[in-house]
Structure formats: C-alpha cells, structure tokens
Amino acid sequence: MSDTPSDHQDLTGRVALVTGGSRGIGVAVAAELLRRGAAVTVTGRKQPALDAAAEQLTPIAGADRVLTVAANTGHDEARAAVIATMMDRFGAVDVLVNNTGINPVYGPLMDADLGAVRKTFDTNVTAALGYIQLAHRAHMGAHGGAVVNIASVAGLRSTGVIPAYGASKAALIRLTEELAWELAPKIRVNAVAPGIVRTDFARVLVEGREAEAVAPYPLGRLGTPEDIARAVAFLASDRAEWITGETLRVDGGLLATGGM
C-alpha cells in the first residue's frame, strides 16, 4: 500500500523535542518527525555532532523548523535551558521523545560499579521524568501532547549481558505506565522497545559476531534507526490517539520466540 500525501503530514504544526538526537535512533526520529510536518528540537552533548545532525536535518524541512541545543540530559539546569530555548523559538512542546540513554555497565551486577549504575538510572529514567515534568509545566499540562520514551527489549526480558541497562529500561517502561494514567486525558505517554539496532551505541553487541547477533531474529536482520523512527512517529501522531501506557516492541520478532 502506498502512502498518501497526508501520511507524511500528520504532525504538521506540532513542535517536538528529541533528546539525544544528534545521531543513531535520535537523528532518525528527528528526520521522520520533520518529514511529517513537525518543527523539531534536538539535543546532544557535543556541538560538532549537533552541527552534523543539523546539516542532515535542515534539507528535509528548512532551517526554520530545526533547532539544535547542546545539553547534557543528566543535568537539571541543562534540561530546563533546553525547554526554555525551545519555548522561546517555537512557543510549544507538543511531542517529547526521550531518546537519550547510556550503558556504561556490562557484565554481572555483582561486579558492577554502583556509581556507574546510579548514573545509568539517573540518565535513562530520572532525566526522562525531568523532561516530562518540564514539558508538562511549560506547555503540555495546558495544551496536551504526546510523550514517547525509548526503552529496550532488555527492559522486558533479562539478557545477562547488560543487566543494569535492562533494569533501567524496565524502570522506564514502568514510568511510562504510571504517567499514562496520571497525565491522561490530555497527554499520552507510550514507549518503544527496540531490539538491536545498527547504531554506534549497539556496536559492542554486534561487532565480530554478526551472524550470531542476527540469528535469533525471525525477520532475519537487525533493526535500523528508521524502523524505530516510524514507530515513534506513529505513537506521536493522532493516529495513535487511543493508545497510552503502551510499550511497542520493534524487535524483528525477537521476543515472540521466547528467547533473547
């Protein structure tokens, strides 16, 4: 079935924030939202990466609909500055995509550095809540909106490889459910749980073991950032207007096998 013009303009007039949007899944989400008519702000820690993202995004929609803000998602003051800058530029926060995530801890939890675990939860969970609070106060509380949290299949099933990260994503999924009813009916809150997606972030899980990494996936390949971006755009749009509190698995059928 081919797309109609309206399929690509279902977010016209909306203003979106994509955290961690300078590369990988984040920049793909930003690009998809722009194609669908939204104005998009992206954050990232490093200005050169943001500049590269802007070069990629601006041709899609023009400079008027693209804003980049250098910010560390884990810092309260930085999050507040992002929302303030976005409101000054666009006057709204209609869509929030909490994409920023870190994974500094690999291997058994009994060997994990607790400082690194705290940082993982602070960035992957607490900071996401912080952005939602700020968006709610600035615009969504009065006008409504949609939040999409980027979780992971590791938050739905144990891996034994990235347990701290998985536990943080499980907490993000639970946060999604809590906020779905707390913020209804004006604000919808959903999550997307990707399997392994071909990004720099996931390289350590794939490098040197490509065939082994792909083998568990019934659809015969790993994900792409664009696979995730299309799911996020759907949940952000009015086409998902009766969906909230949901975690949409975008995993090539991985969890349907009962394995991981």
Residue 5 has pLDDT above 50, yes or no: no
pLDDT tens across 44-91, in order? 999 999 999 999 999 999 999 999 999 999 999 999 999 999 999 999
Domains of the chain: 5-249 (3.40.50.720)
| Mean pLDDT computed over every residue of the chain | 93
106: annotated active-site residue: no
pLDDT at 184: 98
Which amino acid, one-letter code, is at 226?
E
pLDDT at 30: 98
Other CB atoms within 10 Å distance of the CB of residue 173: 20
pLDDT at 161: 86
Residue 3 has pLDDT above 50, yes or no: no
pLDDT at 4: 45
Task: From the candidates 106, 131, 165, 217, give the one annotated as an active-site residue.
Answer: 165
Q: In what order do the strands lie in the sheet with 66-70?
A: 66-70, 39-44, 15-18, 95-98, 145-150, 187-194, 247-250
